[in-house]
Chains A and B, each alone.
Chain A
């Protein structure tokens, strides 16, 4: 039997992998993929929480499921704009590596 805890562990792992990917990887495309992983971790736990909280009529809490749709939509918009910026960067610099992006001093 898969319990709420199991889903939360998987979602926590996804979030950690995503965050580690953002911090450790050096290719912007991969960093962007890791970001999507972080958002999907939230989606997974939202759906798990919604299933775990059955209302008095035996139906899940739909607030969370609606939220998941919003997250998916917003993530798509973010990817559309983000990839456009990355493509513009690639055209200007011929690179997608973070080490090569250092005009502005940190």
Chain B
């Protein structure tokens, strides 16, 4: 049995070790660093199953918890990072082309090492129950994402995405700390449980709500909710594709964990509920409508990620932790799968939907993987995406948010149109070329595993639903 914080320290140690290997073992093939990272993360993943029950509160445990929710999202972060690292191995040629250095391999090693620090940040965030801890771990994630988004220094789009992400993310940080300041000012506490008891005991509502609204702005930015979504399409399009996938899954999941934890003390206030319903409705409508005319697949997935934030927000309004956790797992599987196919296909052309024309005849395997991913994103029955939406709507109806659930169902129909635009291009258009697209064996295995997971969870969702109990 190990103490829970050891997991994060091991992850940070792994990242530092990989950076040292990168710096000193100059002749080592860079790919080895990625494999070492994946193996190290797998070891940490196994270790999450042997975590000792934490002692009752006191000292360090006022900042940090190892409850089932935290452990669940630690595993979530590790799996996401492993899949992103696999994608990065496929993406390395593009990075090499846009980072110039003393050798052709310059920069690739850091590209493999940085996600591990992000992963450590995500894991800490899953456990954070104090505003100070939340702030610091959120910043560990954000600062490492700054570097990753703008990583391709000679690529105009990547740099521009980096600058935009930097500025807008820093603004959201400003809102977060200022909001925390006010919550601290009213309650005199930074620990979430004690903030909750202070709010129940009765506090000055005006300043408390003001602080909470500012914190909601900052978290809305992280989860890409309307009206704080302006950065999403540009940053998603410009960033290196594996980083886009990481942003859309990791950053969003972390945002929702923090949202669930932070909202708990304030949830009984009707103003907060109304605010959340408003944001959810706007996010659902904007994300789905803006995705309709997109022709660039990365941009389409960016708007789709906004739309999914809307469905997840329905779960938040109903405060259904299990439904949100299941949705995030389904979202992880289908988003990573679609980005993995995109990484492979885009290297033969570009990110547009036209590059997928006739893919079913060029590479039936890739086309089928994309079909599964798109069907699940749209919410076709017998895929994980269907149950994700089902549980969220179900929770909303139980809480008598009928109108919200109705808007959700209508926007799902809208989603079918743009997801099946990709499917139509793959199966009904004439191919742009006749050459098959090469897929490495490792990527193939990962894609098959993701497809199986999507279908299995679409038929038998119980294991994930029970993981939180």
User: Would you give the 0/1 interface string for B143-178, flagging 1 where the beta carbon is closer than 8 Å to chain A?
Assistant: 100110010011011011111101100110111011
A24 at the interface (CB under 8 A from B): no
A84 to chain B, nearest CB (A): 8
B184 touches A49 (CB 8 A): yes
CB-CB < 8 A to A81: which residues of B? 143, 146-147, 166
Q: B174: which of A15, A53, A86, A103 is its contact (CB, 8 Å)?
A: A15
Given A45-B185, A101-B163, answer yes or no on A77-B171 (Cβ-Cβ < 8 Å).
no
A38-B175, A70-B132, A81-B143 given; name 7 further pairs at CB < 8 Å.
Answer: A18-B174, A35-B167, A49-B188, A74-B135, A92-B153, A93-B159, A104-B161
B177 touches A53 (CB 8 A): no
Q: How many residues of B contact A (CB 8 A)?
A: 42
Give the CA-CA distance A67 to B238 in the complex, in Å. Answer: 34
A61 to chain B, nearest CB (A): 6
CB-CB < 8 A to B167: which residues of A? 22, 28, 31-32, 35
B304 at the interface (CB under 8 A from A): no
Q: A104: which of B131, B135, B150, B157 is its contact (CB, 8 Å)?
A: B157
Given A92-B159, A104-B238, answer yes or no on A35-B181 (Cβ-Cβ < 8 Å).
no
B62 to chain A, nearest CB (A): 10
A42 touches B178 (CB 8 A): yes
Q: A74: which of B139, B171, B230, B234 is its contact (CB, 8 Å)?
A: B139
Give chain B interface residues in 115-158, CB to chain A under 8 Å.
131-132, 135-136, 139, 142-143, 146-147, 150, 153-154, 156-157
A95 to chain B, nearest CB (A): 11
Given A45-B185, A46-B181, A89-B163, answer yes or no on A38-B135 (Cβ-Cβ < 8 Å).
no
Pairs across A and B, CB under 8 Å, 30 listed: A11-B181, A15-B178, A32-B170, A38-B171, A42-B174, A42-B177, A42-B181, A45-B181, A63-B132, A63-B190, A64-B184, A70-B135, A71-B177, A74-B136, A77-B139, A77-B143, A78-B142, A78-B143, A78-B146, A82-B166, A85-B146, A85-B150, A89-B160, A89-B162, A89-B163, A101-B160, A104-B160, A104-B164, A104-B234, A106-B230
B237 at the interface (CB under 8 A from A): yes
B264 to chain A, nearest CB (A): 20
Residue of B nearest to A96 (CB): B163
CB-CB < 8 A to A9: which residues of B? none
B170 touches A35 (CB 8 A): yes
A67 to chain B, nearest CB (A): 5
Give the CA-CA distance A8 to B210 in the complex, in Å. Answer: 14
Give the CA-CA distance A86 to B162 in the complex, in Å. Answer: 9
A81 to chain B, nearest CB (A): 5
B146 touches A106 (CB 8 A): no
Give the CA-CA distance A12 to B147 in the complex, in Å. Answer: 31
Residue of B nearest to A86 (CB): B163
B149 to chain A, nearest CB (A): 9
User: Would you give the 0/1 interface string for A20-58, flagging 1 where the beta carbon is closer than 8 Å to chain B?
Assistant: 001000001001100100110110011001000100000
Give the CA-CA distance A10 to B91 in the complex, in Å. Answer: 49
Could you say which of A53, A92, A103 has the most chain B C-beta atoms within 10 Å of its C-beta? A103
Give the CA-CA distance A61 to B189 in the complex, in Å. Answer: 9
Q: A71: which of B135, B166, B189 is its contact (CB, 8 Å)?
A: B135
Could you say which of B154, B177, B188, B230 has the most chain A C-beta atoms within 10 Å of its C-beta? B177
A92 touches B135 (CB 8 A): no
CB-CB < 8 A to B230: which residues of A? 106
A88 at the interface (CB under 8 A from B): yes
A13 at the interface (CB under 8 A from B): no
Residue of B nearest to A23 (CB): B171
Give the CA-CA distance A39 to B135 in the complex, in Å. Answer: 12
A42 to chain B, nearest CB (A): 4
B178 touches A41 (CB 8 A): yes
CB-CB < 8 A to A101: which residues of B? 160, 163-164
Q: A85: which of B139, B159, B180 is its contact (CB, 8 Å)?
A: B159
Residue of A nearest to B169 (CB): A78
Give the CA-CA distance A22 to B164 in the complex, in Å. Answer: 12
A67 touches B234 (CB 8 A): no
CB-CB < 8 A to A93: which residues of B? 156, 159
